[in-house]
Amino acid sequence: MGRNTSVKSQFISGVSIFGILALCPIFFPIYWTMILTEILIMGLFAMSFNLLFGYSGLLSFGQAGFFGLGAYATTISILHGVKSIWLAMLIGMAASAIGATLIGFLCVRRDEIFFAMLTLGFGMMIYTVAHNWRELTGGSDGLSLFMVPPIHFFGLEVSLEPPRAMYYFSLIIVAAAVYILWRVIRSPFGLMLMASRENKDRLYFVGANVKNIRLFAFVIAGVMAGLSGALFSLFNHMAAPSFVHWSFSARPVLMTILGGSEIFFGPACGAAIFFVLEQLVTSITENWMIVLGAILIPVVIFTPKGILGTVVSWFTDNKA
């Protein structure tokens, strides 16, 4: 399969996924529209994580830190009188950009387990701040957002309170972010990123600044995580310390493994599998985690490419 056809087919599949997703609320009940909104937001979170994991070979266990920074900064700015959603979300992204630059500067010096542990540690420092700075963050209760202000879009005023409106709003933002991620991966910078995953010493010898490349990827991933956090806080009408905890950082990791880290849409597919399964399982039993774990174990052992990755490689193998 040539690279150009793969680029083309990826672009076409992306556009058709967008089209299908845009039609979904017409056929789905409100409840499933809300689940789909969550899938979109967490799918973006997982894809931003995979820019580090799948494309740069860096396993971050602290992405919830940036997700939480985005969620808290957006919520706090709305609560302190910012009227525009766009501005509040920009503040959220700026907060995670600053956080990711500072933390990334220190973390990208290490690899593998040490990188994972460092990001875990920094993520939990942000958690501690969210949990203990009661005056600003509401402590362990978090902050509730009673009213999400309407968005202004070319003179139109649209309320985000109806679930369908929130769904379309999330869809547009997530699609734009995913397009940016796709362009980043397709760019020369994206190729250097993958080269740093394959062999960072060799990349260094040919004159590339591996640390800067990794730092840039770390910041992009952090900002995207912050954006999904901002959306998540608008969707849930709150920002809570649990958004920042390490167990929340584990979610994009699980979704990426479920879907497949080698495929661009793999993490988002993993997010979809995660939430649909959660709905199916929790309608039968409360013990959803045991089922998730029982599914993940064989996925990790037998299909290292993930579910979407394995399906895709069946098709491409047949063609070859």
Residue closer to another protein (CB basis): 115 or 232: 115
Residue closer to another protein (CB basis): 176 or 280: 280
**Residue 289 is a binding residue for another protein (CB under 8 A):** yes
Residue closer to another protein (CB basis): 26 or 301: 301
Close Cβ partners of 151 (under 8 Å, ≥ 6 residues apart): 84, 85, 86, 157, 158, 160, 169
Q: Which of 294, 318, 319, 320 binds another protein (CB under 8 A)?
A: 294
Q: How far is the CB of 10 from another protein (least distance, A)?
A: 24
Q: Which of 22, 250, 276, 277 binds another protein (CB under 8 A)?
A: 250
- Select from 24-32, 106-114, 185-193, 206-214 the region that touches another protein (CB under 8 A): 106-114
CA 114-117-122 angle, 5° bins: 125
- Number of Cβ within a 10 Å radius of residue 19: 9
**Residue 292 is a binding residue for another protein (CB under 8 A):** yes
- State the number of binding residues for another protein (CB under 8 A): 38
Q: How far is the CB of 242 from another protein (least distance, A)?
A: 12
Q: How far is the CB of 146 from another protein (least distance, A)?
A: 28
**Residue 59 is a binding residue for another protein (CB under 8 A):** yes
Q: Which of 51, 76, 100, 116 binds another protein (CB under 8 A)?
A: 116
Residue closer to another protein (CB basis): 91 or 308: 308
Please name the residue that has the structure tokens 């990827």.
Answer: 217
Q: How far is the CB of 123 from another protein (least distance, A)?
A: 8
Q: Which of 26, 156, 301, 320 binds another protein (CB under 8 A)?
A: 301
**Residue 281 is a binding residue for another protein (CB under 8 A):** no
C-alpha to C-alpha distances, 71 to 33, 122, 193, 194, 285, nearest whole angstrom: 21, 17, 28, 30, 30
Residue closer to another protein (CB basis): 121 or 150: 121
**Residue 102 is a binding residue for another protein (CB under 8 A):** no
Do 66 and 99 meet the contact criterion of CB atoms below 8 Å apart?
Answer: yes
Q: Is residue 111 left, alpha or beta, with left meaning phi > 0 and alpha meaning psi from -120 to 50? A: beta
**What is the footprint of another protein within residues 122-141 (CB under 8 A)?**
122, 124-125, 128-129, 131-132
Question: Which residues make up the interface to another protein (CB under 8 A)?
Answer: 53, 59, 106, 109-110, 112-114, 116-118, 120-122, 124-125, 128-129, 131-132, 246-247, 250, 253-254, 257, 287-290, 292-294, 296-297, 300-301, 304
